[in-house]
A and B are shown apart, each in its own frame.
Chain A
Amino acid sequence: MAAEPGLDNRGSTLLEVVIAFGVFSAALLMLAQLFGMATRSNRVAREVTYAAALAAQKMEQLRGGLWAYDSAGGQLTDTSSDFSCVPEQPSGGTGLLPSPSSALTENTPGFVDYLDESGRWVGTGEAPPSGAAYVRRWSIEPLPSDPADSIVLQVLVISLAGAANAGSDIAGVERGAARLVGARTRRMR
């Protein structure tokens, strides 16, 4: 029997099938990436939350240092606390004395510490110990207009995982990073 006009009874060639499957798997692959993105955005949200909380924690530590006047009007300054530990140690550090100018840009012993994924303190020093997930740096600078009695405190927390993927950042915003700025002025005790 002759074939009906307009009806092609030949099947697909292997090549056609392979191409079709190729297109289909490419679509699947893109779909799979979507789930990865969902997971990743949650992880970034988590990093940002932790970075903010960890920055606040250091700020609170620095606010606990002695920076006041005594009853006779003399200056009282914490010069001994070691803030690079959690909890801070009452001796072994430089307290609220000014930090080196590079304290926020590089890991400066005494003005840096490292924390793990859960925000637990894992160490201090120039290089992050194993298990570190966040680097926390801070600076203490005299306020230019009132250098004797006011200090500016800055805390910067960087997520090491976030910094590794920093390429795809929105302009100027470091992924998983948090920065806090505060000031303290002496008051009468």
Chain B
Amino acid sequence: MRADTGFSLVELLLASAIGLLLVSATLVLTSQAEGTFQAQPDAADMQQRLRVAVETVTRDLMMAGAGLDVGAAAGPLNRFFAPVLPYRIGAWQPAEPGSFDTRAISIIFVPHGAPHTTTMDSLVGATGDVRIRLGAGCPVTDTLCGFREGMGVVVFDDSGAHDVFTVRAVAAQTLSLELRGTQLSRAYGAGAHIAQVSVDTYYLKSDPPSGAFQLAHYDGFRSDLPVTDQVVDLGFEYYGEPRPPTLLRSLGEADGPWTTYGPRPPEAEVDDPRDTWPAGENCVFALVAGSHVPRLADLSLGGDGLVRLDPASLRDGPWCPDAGVPGRFDADLLRVRKVAVTMRVQVASSALRGPAGVLFARGGISKGGERFVPDQEIRFDVTPRNLNLGR
């Protein structure tokens, strides 16, 4: 027998209610799933970019100021010049010396185990050949002291002057150097220090019309490349030694270090004819009644803790080696012991960003829900080890 009765109205209603409920649940889930599938890979990608950016900057910043391993000039570079600068340096589009850009930092260091020695000839122009002394900073069996064609080298002396060159050619014990830039800071006499160098500028590269925001790295010469995309904010703050520099030993002694930081001044009656400072003085030490006193202020507030260096104090002089030198820097930069970095990254797709505000530096078209991935910001500190050897 076949039952020909249909559904009762109650059955029908119940069945369609359950059916509708199920369909609506499926739809909600599908929409959520779509949002999740879109948002989560981007969120993971953003975290990854933040991590890479932090690690890249930390790695180089950690090394800032690493100097020569052996010899009379062994020790951190801030006994000679400022190895951390708050602006872009290098051959291409360098910032005005003495400027301050909160979104850029330049770091100078001598890589571990890099060749270093002193010159035997003076260097007076943007290009020149110098013979080098085969001394303690050279690999034993190498007649070129480990210097190779194409290498970047820094030449510096006791006055605070320094310049970066490219090794154009090498012959036995002689290097042909070419300045990375247009103007030599000053002529270097024989006996200047020369070492392989790493110069790194990190800065925020932004182009609002195209929406390109990147953390970029410039090597001071020819390579200017993005490190990570979607970095929407970058900021550097500087913390420094509160005490002014002091002399550690008699200036007549052959081996340093002579100062706690900063270039050593000439002896009381001696004048360096190349600079504008009076006899016995330089950019960090003045001469009062025949004895050396620091030119820099005492910033300590009843303690030895690091103090924040006011950006204004980093661009108002005194200038090293002096105010007229093209590659001059503010003597207060020699104080830098710690850098605080603030970095902010966003998701690439504007469909995942909400209206501009606290959560989003650059607004998008997201209306919330699953497709809502706020910017990530992080502040981290780096205490360059070589700048804190005496701390």
Contact = CB atoms under 8 A, between A and B. Distances in A.
A57 B342 CA distance: 12
Contacts of B47: 42, 45-46, 49
A101 interface: no
Given A56-B58, A95-B303, 6 more contacts: A25-B22, A46-B47, A60-B382, A64-B381, A66-B391, A68-B390
B29 A57 contact: no
A67 B337 CA distance: 13
A32 interface: yes
Which A-B residue pairs are the 6 nearest by beta carbons?
A189-B390, A80-B303, A81-B305, A90-B305, A60-B381, A66-B304
Contacts of B25: 25, 28
Contact of B248 (A21, A46, A66, A189): A189
Interface string B344-388: 000000000000000000000000000000001111111101001
Interface in A72-89: 76, 78-82, 86-89
B149 to A, nearest CB: 37
A54 B26 CA distance: 41
B155 to A, nearest CB: 27
B377 A95 contact: no
Contacts of A42: 40, 43-44, 47
Contact of A64 (B18, B44, B306): B306
B239 interface: yes
A152 B2 CA distance: 88
Question: Which of A31, A49, A79 has most chain B Cβ within 10 Å?
Answer: A49
Interface string A29-55: 001100100110010011001100100
Given A57-B381, A81-B303, A64 B50 contact: no
A165 interface: no
B3 interface: yes
Contacts of B390: 68, 187-189
Interface residues of B, number: 53
A110 to B, nearest CB: 14
A90 B302 CA distance: 7
B162 interface: no
Contact of B378 (A14, A53, A82): A53
By secondary structure, the B interface counts as mixed
Contacts of B381: 57, 60-61, 64, 87
Contacts, number: 138
B300 A65 contact: no
Given A78-B304, A80-B304, A118 B33 contact: no
Given A14-B15, A42-B44, A60-B382, A78 B305 contact: yes
A67 B248 contact: no
B307 interface: yes
B307 A118 contact: no
Interface magnitude class on chain A: 35 or more
Contact of A90 (B14, B242, B391): B242
A105 B15 CA distance: 59
A17 interface: yes
B260 interface: yes
B212 interface: no
A189 B390 CA distance: 4
Contact of A87 (B2, B58, B308): B308
A56 B54 CA distance: 11
B136 interface: no
Given A24-B22, A56-B380, A118-B376, A78 B303 contact: yes
B40 A39 contact: yes
A119 interface: yes
Contacts of A65: 304-305, 391
A28 B27 CA distance: 11
Nearest to A45: B47
Nearest to A121: B379
B307 A90 contact: yes
Contacts of B58: 56
B3 to A, nearest CB: 7
Contacts of A90: 242, 300-307
24 contacts: A3-B1, A14-B11, A21-B22, A25-B22, A31-B33, A39-B36, A49-B50, A56-B58, A57-B380, A57-B381, A60-B383, A63-B383, A64-B305, A64-B306, A64-B388, A65-B391, A68-B391, A82-B305, A87-B306, A90-B242, A91-B305, A95-B303, A95-B305, A119-B379
Contacts of A87: 237, 239, 306, 308, 340, 381
Contacts of B276: none
A60 B340 CA distance: 10
